[in-house]
Amino acid sequence: MKALILANTAPKYYNFFKPLADEIIESSGQVEFAVDSNVSYEYNKLYAYKVNKFSDFFTGHILSELDLVLAEKIQKKHGLWFINTDADRDRYIGSFGKKFVQNQQHYFEMLVAFFRWLLKDGYHDCIFYENASNLFSLVAREVAEHFDTKYFGISMSRLPGRIAIIDDWREESEKYCCFSDVNLSEDDKEYVNIYLKNISHIEPDYMLNNRLNEVRLIDKYLNFSKIRDVVEYTRISMYSDDGSYSIAFPILASLKQFVRSINRRITANLITYDSNDCDQDAYYLYPLHFHPEASTSLLAREYGSEFEVIRNIAYSLPRGRYLYVKDHRSAYGYPGINFYRKVRKLPNVKIISPFEDTKKLIVSSIGILTLTSTVGYEALLLKKPVALFGRVFYENHPGVIRLEGFRNIIETLVELDSLNENHNDITNFRFISSYFKNTEEVKIDYNNKNYDEQRIEAKKLVDIVQRGW
């Protein structure tokens, strides 16, 4: 195995992917890292590995005709939408530098050239990263496909203690949604049955120990890791790095994130939530999403403004029906007080506290409307219908109505009623059996600093990849 591992400033990413690199090397493989910038190199402390920095490549490479041909081929398929995943983050914390804003087409082409340079000679036969979710990884995945290089996108599944290994984010639903009988062992069937029986009390692994839920600034920022990051970002910000497009000025981006957190804390104290009358109201449930996040900026890219989504639903409601807009536990306050005021002015809309029981709200609702939320997945398992705006792994479930824009919302709201009995326990058992069959028993916890424990999970992953390759 000759692996290329991508790395950026994703929090605590290194706790798993550095042990993974060591495991591959110990298994007689070869490993190099590719990073977007010196910031990512320093943040992940990759001093012991061979590292290819896009920011260094950017300053010394002249685009060739072959670079431009491949870039044009990718752009014909996807436009420049891959940039939107990073641009969405820039809208919130201002991470882009001025040069990138003025030369986005050129940076895109240079990223294509960077991965073409890394992969064209066949030195790397696979890439490891999370599910392709940002400009850097999405371009890497497309160039890898061009050179028949395997892309292993590692992400936590919704099933506890299991991961999904995704090659192509566009085909996730086809991989997981199978509604014929799936061949499982008796132990695996028991896992599926227990999971479905306890779905009302289970949270996905990625929501456990999630510091995004914390709004207390002292707890969130006055800790050693944050102070260390600020010191590192200050040092790195002392010199110019034209190719460092994703975080042009690390300390400035960090300060903007801090200011955003202060504004969130202020807004959180000003929000007035409506009373939860779910036992009396006839309502549809709309869960707010966390921003910025790839699931919205990539898989629901046409719906960048959640207010516009909510507004279109609100003015389409049948008589006597409400829309419950449930705030996000990891994002409440971030949209700003004006967002909540605008939503409150819409007819028959109630804003529900993020700390209300989501599963209870699902069960008492007529159905769910969502962009890409896990709430939609949970609703299906609780046998409630879902109207889906974006793309997500459960989109082929028979309890889902796919929306293509805002024009047919009125008809969709009526149709949600008729879907209440459209799927049953057998459908959900087959669905989760298929999902289980296409996930793997590996536990990823980026907050786990125990190197030996991470090596155990990394070994499981390497063994799985080598067996299935």
Q: Report the C-alpha gap between 6 and 3 in whole angstroms.
A: 10
Q: Are 226 and 258 in contact (CB under 8 A)?
A: no
Alpha-carbon distance values, 48 to 3, 18, 114 (Å): 16, 10, 22
pLDDT of 236 reads 61
pLDDT of 237 reads 58
Distance of CA 142 to the CA centre of its chain: 18
Q: What kind and span of H or E run contains 165?
A: strand 163-166
pLDDT of 74 reads 97
Q: What is the pLDDT of residues 33-68, one digit of tens each?
A: 999 988 889 889 999 999 999 999 999 999 999 999
Q: What kind and span of H or E run contains 445?
A: none
Q: How many of the other CB atoms lie within 10 Å of CB of 95?
A: 25
Helices (H), 207-280: 217-221, 224-236, 250-270
pLDDT above 90: percentage of residues in the chain: 64
Tell the residue number behind the tokens 């590996």, with chain if given. 442
DSSP assigned state of 402: E
Using DSSP bridges, classify how beta strands 400-402 and 349-352 pair: parallel, antiparallel or unpaired. unpaired
pTM of the model: 0.89
DSSP assigned state of 36: S
pLDDT of 419 reads 73
Length of the chain: 469
pLDDT of 424 reads 80
pLDDT of 234 reads 64
Residues of the chain with pLDDT under 50: none
Q: How many of the other CB atoms lie within 10 Å of CB of 4?
A: 24
Q: Report the C-alpha gap between 26 and 32 in whole angstroms.
A: 14
Q: Are 284 and 376 in contact (CB under 8 A)?
A: no
pLDDT of 256 reads 80
pLDDT of 319 reads 94
Q: Report the C-alpha gap between 432 and 188 in whole angstroms.
A: 11
Task: Give residues with Cβ within 8 angstroms of 407, minimum separation 6.
Answer: none
